[in-house]
């Protein structure tokens, strides 16, 4: 059963912390992108995380439906079936869910897991993200407490965020006018997060250190991974070694390998990847269309070439390219070759 059980997913995070590595968490929107992710993790012999955003769920539900929760459930159910053919462990996770849509997105998904558990089945989702970072910290934590309790009742891990990730990613937007100081979570805020959530259930924490969603050239974004170390040190100084966070790295596109590896030393166990895999998926499609222009279009009353306008002809290339980029991410994060499949 390669979709991890709650016990197995917790063991994945523990193994990453102990082994000083992290899992790529890749956003998907279709069966093709799910298969690309599964191929990558299997090829890299890496456990991993497949994610569904509100926009991805809405897209997957179809143009006439546009129901984010429904689409995410469909994709998750497909992932459960497809993952059975691979010998790595996969966690299913949702990406940024803002407070205004939490009731209509997270609660139906938590309920879907509860329904499966009542039948003796594995969780539909192993983790969810509530992104209430646009609220004052006190309000953010109050809402996070509410959802962490709901998740804990179903052995689901909740990811929370304090501080703002810049840029825009599938509906999660920091905005260009975000004050610079909001891009860096302070040690005091990290202590406050621990004190608000400790003891309710297991959670992951997306602390911000200058990260920005989207694509950017190296050097354009001023990352400060030391922010994570200072926050971890502050929490441990006050509450002991057991207070060490499972941290999440958002907005990793364009980050240097040195900076990625540095975050692993400070407790990052999950790094989101979307922009880079989107480009890797689209690039071979563009190449295919440009090289086969006369075949994919019926020009001047010609009939075109069915072999090249058959969507499978270019989607296979897209799947392979996206998988290759994700294998690179596993290598960057040192999760390659470290699957715990069959051990837990």
Give how far Cα 203 sits from Cα of 61, 158, 175, 244, 267, Å: 28, 5, 26, 11, 13
CA dihedral (141, 146, 150, 151) in degrees, to 10, reads -10
- The residues, ordered by sequence, that sit 6+ positions from 304 with a Cβ below 8 Å of its Cβ are 294, 295, 296, 297, 298
Strand partners, 272: 25
Catalytic residues: 95
Q: Please list the alpha-helical segments (H only) found in the chain.
A: 6-19, 31-44, 54-60, 68-83, 99-118, 137-152, 187-197, 226-239, 257-265, 275-291, 293-296, 306-309, 311-332
Q: Which residue has the tokens 């006050």?
A: 238
161 contacts 153 by C-beta, under 8 angstroms: no
Cα–Cα distance for residue pair 188/192, rounded to 1 Å: 6
272 contacts 51 by C-beta, under 8 angstroms: yes
Cα–Cα distance for residue pair 23/31, rounded to 1 Å: 21
Q: SS3 for 145-213, per residue?
A: HHHHHHHHCCCCEEEEEECCCECEECCEECCCCCCHHHHECCHHHHHHHHHHHCCCCCEEEEECECCEC
* Of 125, 111, 118, residue with least CA distance to 156: 125
CA angle (221, 224, 229) in 5-degree steps = 155
């Amino acid at each position: 059963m390669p979709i991890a059980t709650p016990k197995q997913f917790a063991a994945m995070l523990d193994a990453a912390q102990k082994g000083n590595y992290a899992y790529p968490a890749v956003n998907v929107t279709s069966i093709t992108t799910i298969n690309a992710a599964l191929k990558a993790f299997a090829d890299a012999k890496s456990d991993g995380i497949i994610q569904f955003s509100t926009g991805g769920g809405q897209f997957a539900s179809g143009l006439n439906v546009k129901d984010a929760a429904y689409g995410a459930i469909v994709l998750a159910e497909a992932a459960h079936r497809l993952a059975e053919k691979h010998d790595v462990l996969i966690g299913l996770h949702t990406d940024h869910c803002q407070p205004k849509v939490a009731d209509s997105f997270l609660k139906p998904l938590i309920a879907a897991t509860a329904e499966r558990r009542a039948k003796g089945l594995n969780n539909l989702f192993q983790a969810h993200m509530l992104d209430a970072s646009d609220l004052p910290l006190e309000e953010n934590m109050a809402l996070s407490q509410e959802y962490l309790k709901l998740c804990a009742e179903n052995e689901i891990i909740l990811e929370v965020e304090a501080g703002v990730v810049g840029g825009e990613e599938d509906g999660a937007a920091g905005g260009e006018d975000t004050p610079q100081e909001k891009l860096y979570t302070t040690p005091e805020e990290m202590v406050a997060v621990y004190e608000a959530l400790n003891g309710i259930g297991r959670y992951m924490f997306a602390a911000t250190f200058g990260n920005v969603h989207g694509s950017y050239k190296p050097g354009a974004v001023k990352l400060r991974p030391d922010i994570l170390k200072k926050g971890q040190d502050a929490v441990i100084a006050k509450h002991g070694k057991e207070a060490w966070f499972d941290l999440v790295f958002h907005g990793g596109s364009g980050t240097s390998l040195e900076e990625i590896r540095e975050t692993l030393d400070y407790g990052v166990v999950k790094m989101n990847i979307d922009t880079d895999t989107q480009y890797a998926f689209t690039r071979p499609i563009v190449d295919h269309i440009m090289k086969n222009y006369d075949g994919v279009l019926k020009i001047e009353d010609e009939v075109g070439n069915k072999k090249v306008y058959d969507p499978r002809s270019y989607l296979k290339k897209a799947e392979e390219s996206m998988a290759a980029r994700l294998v690179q991410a596993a290598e960057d994060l040192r999760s390659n070759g470290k699957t715990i499949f069959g051990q837990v």
